[in-house]
């Protein structure tokens, strides 16, 4: 502790334990369902059992008479609320937008669509009454597959989206040009790739509490959101049509999100409107796990065909990618941006590929909406390009590591433009990360061991999978990502305010917010170093639109690179003002003032220093300020970055595959990541651990499945396999450091890298184990039965 109190010790780069954890681990946190307000009542939803139907009747007569029931409302009762907004339409193309209403009116488009809401004195009574509401549907036909949905004769979900097409988008060269390059290639490979649908599964599900104050006309919303300021904007200006300043949005402690809590959901405006109907009684809705799986957004769900051209020595000359992206029943808040800007424009990965063409067709189906899920587009892109590398290796006989090495963008190429519409990659040095990963894992030895096992016809085969990834974080600037460019409906800057109070204590308010990332620790480390105040004297405040400056929220690994830079710049402004005041206090010229660890002194006289605390007091009491200087050390920054950041690295996975049963055992997992400069290495390691677990789970375990009736077959954790600690290996982590030139801290972002890299690393490893048996691809999740069948099991 004393080390942390010492302002001369540099904290950035230190693995300080998270200050949030004692509170959260001891159960002293306050998550949404912990909040109990005076007079609060409970909402439960009647949900559609039909995946696509016309509502013929809703009979709530019995429910209304049940114990504790205060009211039952249906969609028509909220006809004055607009459909939820679509905030990110794909840039440059027509978007056939159909967003959901708070409760369905007329038609339902997925199992779980909310059709009525029951309000009762307690949650049990509400749940009982939901069962008593009878709804009849006329079946309109169901389609759950993105390709089948576009076929003639498929059931049509929305009038303005013929063949269920949300949008068609492309990037890269003209198709004919890439076809020519493909035709000229020495080696050609084609592959069908399915990136299956995933369910984000944050530990805490979602919910909202709405409260209307009949006296002031003000609303307050507590909600499990990664972006409270954006929710306030969307709910007021787009859904409810009330002034933005009449709503306060608070994200309490949020138990994980992985993206699914970025979006504007039905329950938010619904709870506010219900509280008004109930004369201000607060109304709580908190989904259960079954509802979470059914109706909170899902991720991925791409069907892709790739055509690859390469030279005989493994250089990729042409790549054509055609993807159908399943967006589910409606257009979720930022759904269109994921398979376009964040997927299509990242398909080149870390390779120089002269001819690329990506076509994306986004599609409505009778399934849960699909939107950003940890990695959001980049995992899908990394899966394509990293499978492509191994397919090229298989077709040319060049080692998979060598294929990557031969195609890497070189250090001198940065900033590098891939030619498919992404901003130039800011910095990178891909080969050292690959080399180090291969060295740690003992690549040559493993290849020899693999060959020996094959030679001996061992039951347990060895597989080695590589994934060299690059991703994009801190997406900005606003003028690029925004409406005229990539289609995002607003900016993507961040803001921060830093106040040094009279007593020398520091309060930082930020528009970003944690849902598990440790902002309070990392940001305090940063401020302690830059301002020279003790770490313990710094409070990081967030998550409440009352009292924090506007921010776009936490996703896309943007908090440090964008929000952190806003803090950094505010601290710099405070420091500059403090230096001016110190010069006045020391009766010296500002140019002669030296700033060191929170102390200002005249060059050559370090003993006669003024501390930041002395200066803050002087600034606040304001008896004696120089010239026009305003009182108080209080500075705000709105920071719009000039570019995105592009973390990268190489992951290597080693698996044993049992030829007899197809069972897969994860033997080793080596990750060498480069996320730029690191503020807290323990937090970054934790992010990488969790990310790898989620990504390897896609490769081996997870997959959301609907039946032909549009029912979610994997509707509980008994069927949908999120990874347990016993199912993941020990991670061997290292880092290289290539600072980002985009921001003054040189940070890139680390929240999603693990998820992006690990899925192809693990899939490639399993496929590699079977390569000598003629297997060059397996669809995920790669279950033991799929392996068993791929090597001849079950063949009659």
Scanning residues 73 to 92, which ones bind other proteins (CB under 8 A)? none
* Pick 651 or 659: Cβ nearer other proteins: 659
* Spatial separation of the C-alpha atoms in residues 634 and 630, rounded to whole Å: 10
* Pick 175 or 713: Cβ nearer other proteins: 713
Least separation in angstroms between residue 483's CB and other proteins is: 41
Contact 749, 475 (CB under 8 A): no
Least separation in angstroms between residue 126's CB and other proteins is: 8
**Binder of other proteins out of 6, 136, 213, 288 (CB under 8 A):** 288
Least separation in angstroms between residue 158's CB and other proteins is: 30
Asked if 605 interacts with other proteins (CB under 8 A), we say: no
Q: Read out DSSP for 316-357?
A: EEEEEEEEEEEEESS--TTGGGTTTTTTGGGTTTTB--SEEE
- The token pair at 457 is 């016809």
Least separation in angstroms between residue 705's CB and other proteins is: 6
* Pick 76 or 719: Cβ nearer other proteins: 719
Least separation in angstroms between residue 128's CB and other proteins is: 7
Contact 722, 292 (CB under 8 A): no
* Pick 245 or 716: Cβ nearer other proteins: 716
Cβ neighbour number for residue 305 with a 10 Å cutoff: 14
Place of tokens 């990557």: 404
Q: Which of 502, 495, 599 is closest to 552 using CA atoms? A: 495
Least separation in angstroms between residue 329's CB and other proteins is: 22
Query: Three-class SS of residue 54?
Result: strand
Contact characters 686-715, other proteins, x per CB under 8 A: --------------xx---x-------xx-
**Binder of other proteins out of 3, 28, 124, 162 (CB under 8 A):** 124
* Pick 588 or 721: Cβ nearer other proteins: 721
Least separation in angstroms between residue 124's CB and other proteins is: 5
Stretch that binds other proteins, among 183-191, 288-296, 347-355, 404-412 (CB under 8 A): 288-296
Rounded to 5 degrees, φ, ψ at 388 are: -60, -45
Sign of CA dihedral 341, 343, 346, 347: negative
- Residue spans of alpha helices (H) in 169-224: 175-184
Contact 567, 561 (CB under 8 A): no
Asked if 724 interacts with other proteins (CB under 8 A), we say: yes
Least separation in angstroms between residue 713's CB and other proteins is: 6
Cβ neighbour number for residue 37 with a 10 Å cutoff: 14
Place of tokens 């991925």: 300
Asked if 480 interacts with other proteins (CB under 8 A), we say: no
Least separation in angstroms between residue 785's CB and other proteins is: 4
The C-alpha angle with vertex 697 and arms to 691 and 699, in degrees rounded to 5, equals 110
Q: Kindly state the helix (H) or strand (E) to which residue 161 belongs, with its residue range.
A: none
* Pick 104 or 728: Cβ nearer other proteins: 728
Q: Are strands 41-47 and 283-286 parallel, antiparallel or unpaired?
A: parallel
Least separation in angstroms between residue 118's CB and other proteins is: 12
Least separation in angstroms between residue 764's CB and other proteins is: 20
* Spatial separation of the C-alpha atoms in residues 344 and 171, rounded to whole Å: 7
Contact characters 94-123, other proteins, x per CB under 8 A: -----------------------------x
**Binder of other proteins out of 21, 59, 131, 536 (CB under 8 A):** 131
* Pick 596 or 719: Cβ nearer other proteins: 719
* Pick 481 or 704: Cβ nearer other proteins: 704
Asked if 290 interacts with other proteins (CB under 8 A), we say: yes
**Binder of other proteins out of 200, 745, 788, 790 (CB under 8 A):** 788
Least separation in angstroms between residue 211's CB and other proteins is: 23
* Spatial separation of the C-alpha atoms in residues 207 and 369, rounded to whole Å: 17
Contact 495, 234 (CB under 8 A): no
* Pick 63 or 600: Cβ nearer other proteins: 63
Q: Which of 327, 214, 307, 258 is closest to 695 using CA atoms? A: 258
Least separation in angstroms between residue 127's CB and other proteins is: 4
Least separation in angstroms between residue 663's CB and other proteins is: 7
Asked if 793 interacts with other proteins (CB under 8 A), we say: yes
Stretch that binds other proteins, among 20-28, 124-132, 221-229, 469-477 (CB under 8 A): 124-132
Contact characters 209-248, other proteins, x per CB under 8 A: ----------------------------------------
Stretch that binds other proteins, among 247-255, 295-303, 427-435, 778-786 (CB under 8 A): 778-786
What is residue 240's DSSP assignment?
I
Query: Three-class SS of residue 290?
Result: helix
Stretch that binds other proteins, among 138-146, 348-356, 761-769, 783-791 (CB under 8 A): 783-791
* Pick 591 or 795: Cβ nearer other proteins: 795
Asked if 175 interacts with other proteins (CB under 8 A), we say: no
**Binder of other proteins out of 399, 640, 663, 732 (CB under 8 A):** 663
**Non-local CB neighbours of 652 within 8 Å, separated by 6+ positions:** 437, 438, 440, 441, 443, 464, 465, 466, 467, 668, 669, 670, 761
Q: How many residues does the chain have?
A: 796
Least separation in angstroms between residue 657's CB and other proteins is: 14
**Binder of other proteins out of 354, 415, 739, 784 (CB under 8 A):** 784
* Spatial separation of the C-alpha atoms in residues 632 and 577, rounded to whole Å: 9
Least separation in angstroms between residue 783's CB and other proteins is: 7
Contact 425, 640 (CB under 8 A): no
* Spatial separation of the C-alpha atoms in residues 234 and 46, rounded to whole Å: 25
**Non-local CB neighbours of 633 within 8 Å, separated by 6+ positions:** 498, 499, 500, 574, 577, 578, 615, 616, 619, 620
**Binder of other proteins out of 25, 717, 737, 773 (CB under 8 A):** 717
Q: Which of 100, 107, 123, 102 is closest to 41 using CA atoms? A: 123
Q: Which of 262, 283, 257, 286 is closest to 272 using CA atoms? A: 283
* Pick 67 or 547: Cβ nearer other proteins: 67
Stretch that binds other proteins, among 96-104, 182-190, 750-758, 779-787 (CB under 8 A): 779-787
Asked if 720 interacts with other proteins (CB under 8 A), we say: yes
- The token pair at 387 is 């499978």
Q: How many amino acids of this chain bind other proteins (CB under 8 A)? A: 32
What is residue 629's DSSP assignment?
P
Asked if 721 interacts with other proteins (CB under 8 A), we say: yes
* Spatial separation of the C-alpha atoms in residues 796 and 790, rounded to whole Å: 13
* Spatial separation of the C-alpha atoms in residues 522 and 683, rounded to whole Å: 8
Asked if 10 interacts with other proteins (CB under 8 A), we say: no
Least separation in angstroms between residue 721's CB and other proteins is: 4
Q: Are strands 283-286 and 299-310 parallel, antiparallel or unpaired?
A: unpaired
For the chain, report the end-to-end CA distance as a whole number of angstroms: 68
Q: Which of 125, 121, 120, 139 is closest to 73 using CA atoms? A: 120
* Pick 523 or 720: Cβ nearer other proteins: 720
* Spatial separation of the C-alpha atoms in residues 372 and 98, rounded to whole Å: 17
User: Which residues of the chain form contacts with other proteins (CB under 8 A)?
Assistant: 123-124, 127-128, 131, 288-290, 660-661, 663, 700-701, 705, 713-714, 716-722, 724, 727, 783-785, 788-789, 793-794
């Amino acid at each position: 502790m004393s080390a942390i109190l010492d302002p001369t010790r540099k904290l950035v780069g230190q693995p300080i334990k998270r200050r949030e954890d004692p509170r959260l681990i001891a159960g002293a946190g306050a998550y949404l369902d912990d909040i109990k307000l005076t007079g609060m009542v409970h909402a439960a939803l009647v949900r559609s059992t039909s995946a696509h139907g016309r509502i013929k009747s809703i009979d709530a007569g019995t429910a209304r008479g049940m114990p504790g029931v205060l009211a039952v409302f249906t969609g028509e009762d909220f006809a004055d609320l607009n459909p939820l907004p679509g905030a990110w339409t794909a840039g440059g193309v027509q978007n056939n937008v159909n967003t959901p209403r708070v409760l369905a009116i007329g038609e339902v488009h997925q199992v779980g669509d909310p059709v009525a809401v029951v309000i009762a004195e307690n949650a049990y009574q509400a749940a009982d009454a939901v069962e008593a509401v009878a709804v009849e549907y006329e079946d309109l036909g169901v389609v759950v597959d993105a390709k089948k949905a576009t076929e003639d004769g498929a059931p049509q979900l929305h009038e303005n989206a013929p063949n269920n097409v949300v949008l068609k988008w492309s990037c890269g060269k003209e198709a004919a040009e890439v076809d020519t390059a493909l035709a000229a290639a020495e080696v050609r490979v084609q592959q069908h790739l399915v990136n299956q649908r995933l369910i984000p599964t944050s530990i805490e599900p979602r919910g909202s509490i709405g409260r209307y104050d009949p006296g002031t006309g003000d609303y307050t919303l507590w909600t499990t959101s990664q972006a409270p300021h954006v929710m306030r904007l969307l709910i007021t200006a787009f859904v409810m049509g009330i002034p933005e300043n009449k709503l306060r949005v608070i994200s309490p402690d949020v138990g994980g999100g992985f993206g699914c809590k970025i979006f504007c959901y039905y329950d938010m405006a619904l709870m506010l409107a219900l509280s008004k109907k109930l004369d201000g009684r607060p109304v709580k809705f908190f989904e259960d796990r079954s509802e979470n799986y059914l109706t909170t957004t899902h991720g991925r769900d791409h069907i892709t065909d790739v055509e690859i051209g390469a030279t005989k020595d493994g250089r990729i000359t042409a790549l054509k990618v055609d993807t159908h992206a399943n967006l589910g029943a409606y257009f979720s808040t930022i759904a269109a941006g994921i398979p376009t800007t964040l997927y299509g424009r990242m398909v080149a990965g870390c390779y120089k590929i002269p001819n690329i063409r990506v076509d994306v067709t986004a599609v409505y189906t009778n399934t849960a909406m699909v939107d950003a899920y940890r990695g959001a587009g980049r995992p899908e892109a990394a899966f394509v390009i990293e499978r492509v590398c191994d397919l090229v290796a298989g077709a040319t006989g060049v080692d998979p590591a060598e294929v990557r090495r031969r195609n890497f963008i070189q250090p001198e190429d940065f900033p590098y433009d891939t030619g498919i519409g992404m901003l130039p990659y800011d910095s990178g040095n891909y080969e050292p990360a690959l080399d180090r990963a291969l060295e740690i894992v003992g690549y040559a030895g493993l290849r020899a061991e693999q060959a020996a096992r094959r030679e001996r016809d061992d039951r347990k085969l060895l597989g080695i999978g590589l994934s060299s990834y690059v991703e994009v974080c801190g997406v900005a600037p606003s003028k690029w990502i925004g409406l005229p460019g990539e289609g995002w409906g607003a900016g993507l800057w961040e803001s921060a305010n830093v106040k040094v109070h009279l007593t020398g204590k520091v309060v930082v308010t930020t528009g970003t917010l944690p849902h598990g990332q440790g902002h309070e620790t990392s940001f305090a480390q940063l401020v302690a170093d830059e301002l020279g105040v003790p770490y313990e004297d710094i409070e990081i405040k967030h998550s409440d639109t009352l009292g924090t400056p506007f921010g776009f929220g936490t996703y896309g690994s943007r908090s440090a690179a964008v929000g952190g830079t806003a803090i950094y710049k505010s601290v710099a402004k405070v420091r500059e003002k403090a230096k001016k005041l110190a010069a006045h206090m020391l009766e010296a010229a500002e140019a002669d003032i030296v700033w060191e660890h929170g102390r200002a002194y005249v060059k050559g006289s370090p003993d006669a220093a003024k501390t930041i605390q002395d200066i803050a007091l002087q600034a606040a009491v304001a008896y004696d300020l120089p010239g026009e200087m305003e009182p108080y050390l209080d500075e705000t920054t709105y920071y719009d970055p000039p570019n995105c950041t592009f973390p990268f690295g190489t992951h290597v996975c080693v698996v044993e595959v049992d030829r007899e049963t197809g069972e897969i055992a994860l033997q080793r997992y080596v990750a060498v990541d480069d996320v730029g400069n690191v503020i807290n290495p323990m937090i970054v390691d934790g992010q990488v651990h969790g990310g790898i677990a989620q990504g390897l789970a896609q490769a081996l375990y997870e997959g959301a499945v609907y039946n032909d009736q549009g029912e979610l077959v994997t509707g509980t954790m008994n069927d949908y396999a999120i990874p347990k600690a016993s199912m993941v290996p020990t991670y061997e982590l290292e880092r290289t450091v290539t600072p980002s030139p985009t921001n003054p801290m040189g940070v890139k972002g680390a929240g999603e890298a693990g998820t992006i890299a690990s899925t192809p690393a693990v899939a490639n490893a399993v496929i590699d184990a079977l390569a000598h048996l003629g297997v060059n691809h397996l669809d995920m999740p790669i279950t033991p039965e799929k392996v068993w069948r791929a090597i001849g099991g079950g063949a009659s």
